[in-house]
A and B are shown apart, each in its own frame.
Chain A
């Protein structure tokens, strides 16, 4: 870094602040990234990482602060300014036109002429050069909707390179990738760095930071808490900087005492909305008094598994609850029937599934259980007063804040929203609790509380099926771990007898013996 005296930083942010209404997403953030390096930005969900990068890419305007690119003060009002300043961004959710070809997506906005055919021909040549140079392998004539996420991500990177980006921002790029695909991505990133590109990697995964970055910044609650050289730090220190205190990586719990099988799954097959088979014949058993954790990269059939168990989607095969077979399609297989059978469900996406955001807290407490006789005044009318009284009880027991049953779900924080869902489901004392991503977008305090509630339910002799893409959560919470890949169970492990590396291989589709 002895060149830093002469070479200005590729990116320099000075005092960036941004508020959304009363929420301060970014507070006086300063950052300097040297050219030709990979800089990581790490922080919890909601720490403000994505907001900061969106400001850099012109999606939002900062309330205060300056952006300097290569030593030049730069005003970035929209994506066009960012592209002109040599910035490219690969978003977490790809910005591709599904029914366009790879080539059409790459030239979109950078056609270089009014007529399409010459533009496409030019782009095809450039693309071939870029692909060779950086080892980015794509089929220019494939439709986006017909290629996998790995290739879609390469298309996004090529889009930036085609626009001559010198600075590349990647927002949570590995969320949808297997560990093997992620490793391939990292090879590409190192190659880009060799060619002099500057890369910012946003992630909440410590492993990636340690693997690939040169320097790392930590964000917490909208503030930049530290910037260090990766070689001079360790995961424990970063984790502490992220959450602001020592984290309990292990949940405090007694050993499980599994009893009789509660849920038995045999040969289960599930298709998604497009008719693609996402669960390809799996067998699983969850016993009373244990937590079975399903690990896997997002999109390998875990969501569909939860949905079919929760009655949101039809399937084929056999599911038995306490020995009795449950129907897998038709009227007897909906969420109402599942609840009546004794299955409660904390869904993966509380905002789209678990809650009606416009409903009051008390209306949400009855959600899914609105047929409960305790909530009815007579054959025709609901007993809203009874629901409100029940809500008051749950608010107190689960310490939901603000303690106002009349507040709309939208006006609670993520953690308190999740507490409403967890309170509603766990208080039913179900035989089987389905839990999907219980702590996604939830603050640390609420995470601990929710984990304790899940463990308490297990200790009361109930069965819990936990799906999470956070390996740490699975390792600390589950009594037994099953790894899903491409709709199949790759293997089962006990948490005390395995580690992230072995699970990672299974998640990538490599069976334990072969690895």
Chain B
């Protein structure tokens, strides 16, 4: 029995959750003796007040679109991929290898090759937990967490012992050749006569991320594979009845998820740093969880939530620069968003459902969103 119109589920609940997170964050800012209104002003000015700010906001948003989509695709198959961070690290390794060891004639070919490498590396890192889940029943949440740590150790080893240039003390690769430099928004928009900050890192990867949103939407809602992923996500026994192989769907969903997380590296490694450094992912893999939850696992929702988090990330950096509020405020907001949209979902939902039940209005049923992992479908009572 649907207790509430779908639009409330899709729009109202994320907005209320966001409002609650905002209020609590404001209280936190007050608690550390700062002025929330001033903080918001700094954030807006810093993130949206200039093309420089926009450039960073969009750069971060690009990262979060990739990782948010990665988490969302897995959610649709009722798999909780916490391993986006590790998969993105491995994607970075793939990008670095493609850019450093092959002389590319033009950035566009390099982007294609590096993108494929990033997806392959990310997917490979997701493949083992996926296989262990599908064949051995190993809990994918735990294995993907473990693989994040293993990825960090692996990356550390590669950067310190293998890819570090001779004589350098810095655990990082050397700079990528100039030929693989990706055009920034400044370079892309200049021919159109639009001025954009030269020093902002947003680049052509943004377009790839937006394309990925559209493709994931088509995949989930318009293809047979997407149909099978959603069916499997809602009911494993149902999937077996319909001849949908749980093994196949688990593998494919996780490979797509890992590939999307890995693909983030074309933005942060190839587009921004232009070399591979330790901690290049900056926690974007985890922010993907908040983005997917907030976006209700729908690609358009993910797009909007990624923009929001891009704004928060850039605004938070400006805040740390111009006030006494550390950048970690963003981590707190991220935690609160995950808490309210994910774990305390029912706390927000129950009063709303009661409200709508009281209003008793007729509504059109708009179908399902992605299931949260491990949530048992509630059986109607006798």
**A-to-B contact residues, CB < 8 Å:** 20-23, 25, 45-46, 48, 50-51, 310-312, 331, 334-339, 345, 347, 349, 351-360, 363, 366-368, 370-371, 376, 380-382, 384, 404, 406-408, 410-411
- Does A406 lie within 8 Å of B364, measured CB to CB? yes
Interface string of B76-108 (1 = CB under 8 A from A): 000000000000000000000000000000000
Report B258 CB to chain A, min CB distance, Å: 22
What are 26 A-B contacts defined by CB distance under 8 Å?
Answer: A51-B381, A310-B241, A312-B240, A312-B241, A331-B245, A335-B244, A347-B241, A349-B237, A351-B379, A353-B235, A353-B238, A353-B241, A354-B241, A357-B235, A358-B367, A359-B368, A370-B227, A376-B224, A381-B218, A381-B222, A382-B223, A382-B224, A406-B367, A408-B2, A410-B2, A410-B380
Contacts of B272-320 to chain A: CB distance below 8 A:
none
Contact flag A371-B224 (CB < 8 Å), given A25-B381, A411-B1: yes
Q: Which of A311, A345, A349, A359 has the most chain B CB atoms closer than 10 A to its own CB?
A: A359
- Cβ of B365 within 8 Å of any chain A Cβ, yes or no, is yes
- Cβ of B371 within 8 Å of any chain A Cβ, yes or no, is yes
Residues of chain B with a CB closer than 8 A to A380's CB = 223
Residues of chain B with a CB closer than 8 A to A407's CB = 365
Residues of chain B with a CB closer than 8 A to A25's CB = 381-382
Q: In chain B, what residue has the closest Cβ to A331? A: B245
Tally the A-B contacts, defined by beta carbons under 8 Å: 106
- Does B234 lie within 8 Å of A357, measured CB to CB? yes
CA distance A22 to B358 in the complex (A): 12
Report B124 CB to chain A, min CB distance, Å: 24
- Does B234 lie within 8 Å of A360, measured CB to CB? no
Report B70 CB to chain A, min CB distance, Å: 22
Report B100 CB to chain A, min CB distance, Å: 35
Residues of chain B with a CB closer than 8 A to A337's CB = 243
Q: In chain B, what residue has the closest Cβ to A47? A: B382
- Does A411 lie within 8 Å of B243, measured CB to CB? no
Report A107 CB to chain B, min CB distance, Å: 29
- Does B241 lie within 8 Å of A335, measured CB to CB? yes
- Does A368 lie within 8 Å of B241, measured CB to CB? yes
The 10 closest A-B pairs by CB, nearest first: A335-B243, A336-B243, A358-B368, A368-B242, A353-B241, A334-B243, A352-B237, A312-B240, A356-B234, A381-B222
Residues of chain B with a CB closer than 8 A to A404's CB = 365
Contact flag A48-B235 (CB < 8 Å), given A360-B367, A406-B364: no
- Does A382 lie within 8 Å of B241, measured CB to CB? no
Residues of chain A with a CB closer than 8 A to B380's CB = 410
Residues of chain A with a CB closer than 8 A to B364's CB = 406
Report B374 CB to chain A, min CB distance, Å: 16
Q: Which of B223, B244, B365 contacts A360 (CB 8 A)?
A: B365
Residues of chain B with a CB closer than 8 A to A363's CB = 227, 367
Report A330 CB to chain B, min CB distance, Å: 11
Report A416 CB to chain B, min CB distance, Å: 13
- Does A358 lie within 8 Å of B382, measured CB to CB? no
Contact flag A21-B1 (CB < 8 Å), given A357-B235, A410-B380: yes
Residues of chain A with a CB closer than 8 A to B222's CB = 381-382, 384
- Does B367 lie within 8 Å of A359, measured CB to CB? yes
CA distance A358 to B364 in the complex (A): 14
Q: In chain B, what residue has the closest Cβ to A336? A: B243
CA distance A48 to B382 in the complex (A): 6
CA distance A351 to B377 in the complex (A): 10
- Does B243 lie within 8 Å of A338, measured CB to CB? yes
Residues of chain A with a CB closer than 8 A to B1's CB = 21-22, 410-411
Report B3 CB to chain A, min CB distance, Å: 7
- Cβ of B357 within 8 Å of any chain A Cβ, yes or no, is yes
CA distance A310 to B244 in the complex (A): 12
Residues of chain A with a CB closer than 8 A to B241's CB = 310, 312, 335, 345, 347, 353-354, 368
Residues of chain B with a CB closer than 8 A to A339's CB = 243
Residues of chain B with a CB closer than 8 A to A358's CB = 234, 367-368, 371, 377
CA distance A146 to B186 in the complex (A): 71
Contacts of B341-382 to chain A: CB distance below 8 A:
357, 364-368, 371, 377, 379-382
Q: Which of A311, A334, A352, A360 contacts B235 (CB 8 A)?
A: A352
CA distance A46 to B382 in the complex (A): 5
Residues of chain B with a CB closer than 8 A to A331's CB = 245
Q: Which of B228, B238, B366, B381 contacts A352 (CB 8 A)?
A: B238
CA distance A215 to B323 in the complex (A): 80
- Does A406 lie within 8 Å of B365, measured CB to CB? yes
Contact flag A21-B3 (CB < 8 Å), given A357-B235, A410-B380: yes
- Cβ of B231 within 8 Å of any chain A Cβ, yes or no, is yes
Known pairs A50-B382, A310-B241; list 15 more (Cβ under 8 Å): A48-B382, A335-B240, A336-B242, A338-B243, A347-B241, A353-B235, A353-B238, A356-B235, A359-B367, A368-B241, A368-B242, A370-B242, A371-B224, A382-B227, A408-B368
- Does A335 lie within 8 Å of B365, measured CB to CB? no
CA distance A303 to B15 in the complex (A): 46
Residues of chain A with a CB closer than 8 A to B224's CB = 370-371, 376, 382
CA distance A360 to B366 in the complex (A): 8
Q: In chain B, what residue has the closest Cβ to A354? A: B241
Q: In chain A, what residue has the closest Cβ to B377? A: A357
Interface string of B215-256 (1 = CB under 8 A from A): 000100011100110110011011011111100000000000
CA distance A334 to B243 in the complex (A): 5
CA distance A234 to B230 in the complex (A): 51
Interface string of B105-117 (1 = CB under 8 A from A): 0000000000000
Q: In chain A, what residue has the closest Cβ to B380? A: A410
CA distance A371 to B364 in the complex (A): 28
Residues of chain B with a CB closer than 8 A to A366's CB = 227
Report A343 CB to chain B, min CB distance, Å: 11
Contact flag A367-B245 (CB < 8 Å), given A353-B238, A358-B371, A382-B222: no
Residues of chain B with a CB closer than 8 A to A354's CB = 238, 241
Q: In chain A, what residue has the closest Cβ to B241? A: A353
CA distance A278 to B136 in the complex (A): 23
Residues of chain A with a CB closer than 8 A to B230's CB = 356, 359
Residues of chain B with a CB closer than 8 A to A349's CB = 237
Residues of chain B with a CB closer than 8 A to A381's CB = 218, 222-223
Contact flag A355-B238 (CB < 8 Å), given A363-B227, A370-B224, A406-B364: yes
Q: In chain B, what residue has the closest Cβ to A335? A: B243
Report B98 CB to chain A, min CB distance, Å: 28
Q: In chain A, what residue has the closest Cβ to B218? A: A381
